[in-house]
Amino acid sequence: MKSPLLSLPGAVPAEGPDDGVAAHYGDLFREQRALADGSGLVDLSHRGVVTVTGDDRLSWLHLLLTQHVSDLPAGLATEALILSAHGHIEHALYLVDDGTTVWAHVEPGTQDDLVAYLESMKFFYRVEVADRTADFAVVHLPAGSIAEVPSDTVVREASHGRDLFLPRAELEAFAAAHGPAIGILAYEALRVEAHRPRLGLETDHRTIPHELGWIGTAVHLQKGCYRGQETVARVHNLGKPPRRLVFLHLDGSEVLLPAHGTPLRVAADGDEGRQIGFITTSARHHELGPIALALVKRNVPVDAELLAGVTAAAQEVVVEP
């Protein structure tokens, strides 16, 4: 869906997975500083919105998700994954229950597959699953924002801010009242700084939760009864995920940022050395300069200088080897 906020002055459309919203509105670093200071709002209206209603919604989702949600208090935000039978990440859900309905926002374009899977697992449970993407838009207010939210709006409050499930018809008016609008590039830069993984960027077809630090935040280790649990338990007990997420400080002299998928090599081996990982997300940060998240093999020394293509990179540990 193309956001109406793309008609605002200075809006430059985003590309790739964030197609449909603005990359920025003319001043990337000003937008980042505003977001870090608790000002403005981020248009996430391209994200999918899925709801689950019915008396069995929480007990039923508890059987399918990696998170403990059987007694999730109303208004408490959480996140959860759906794994394959082999423990690979298939979906990431950002959830809140309002007392009658579980609301989740998900990566753009993944809602159809998610709804189809959930529908296939309903059996005799008293639940109804719905794709509400056409009716509701996700809007992010940063931590510290003093914007007043209508009392009937569903809010998911996390450590880095509030996600609102706003009726699409109210998006433009809400942005006009609580702007300035901030582009997705600023939001992504702060996400990279905070080491928060994102489905489809930090994940590929074989990613398991341990590699990204999703154990604890999206995976509850004291529950069972979900697909892929055996892999989660085995890797947790052995303590040896094959790869690990790292944070990179990139050489600021390069004009272009390394794109998603750019091969990583140990700098001492040169640009012809063996590939030991790849860039997942890169960004320009208003204070840190060029930064990135990347997946590397577990046994890469934590103090090794790396090369992202031809760009020098110094790593910080996110997931312990």
What's residue 271's pLDDT?
Answer: 82
Nearest partner of 105 among 41, 44, 160, 191, judged by Cα: 44
Nearest partner of 202 among 190, 217, 216, 192, judged by Cα: 192
- The span from the CA of 41 to the CA of 34, in Å, is 9
Q: What is the pLDDT of residues 33-81, one digit of tens each?
A: 999 999 999 999 999 999 999 999 999 999 999 999 999 999 999 999 9
What's residue 110's pLDDT?
Answer: 98
Q: What is the pLDDT of residues 199-238, one digit of tens each?
A: 999 999 999 999 999 998 999 999 888 999 999 999 999 8
Residue 1 pLDDT class (50, 70, 90 cuts): confident
Q: What three-state secondary structure class fits 111?
A: helix
- The span from the CA of 246 to the CA of 198, in Å, is 14
Produce one character per residue of 308-321: b if its CB has 16 or more CB atoms within 10 Å, e if not: beebbbebeebbeb
- The span from the CA of 164 to the CA of 140, in Å, is 6
Q: What is the pLDDT of residues 89-107, one digit of tens each?
A: 999 999 999 999 999 999 9
What's residue 239's pLDDT?
Answer: 79
Residue 272 pLDDT class (50, 70, 90 cuts): confident
- Locate tokens 């207010």: which residue? 141
Q: What three-state secondary structure class fits 28?
A: helix
Q: What is the pLDDT of residues 183-201, one digit of tens each?
A: 999 999 999 999 999 999 9
- The span from the CA of 254 to the CA of 319, in Å, is 27
Q: What is the pLDDT of residues 120-169, one digit of tens each?
A: 999 999 999 999 999 999 999 999 999 999 999 999 999 999 999 999 99
Sign of CA dihedral 88, 91, 97, 100: negative
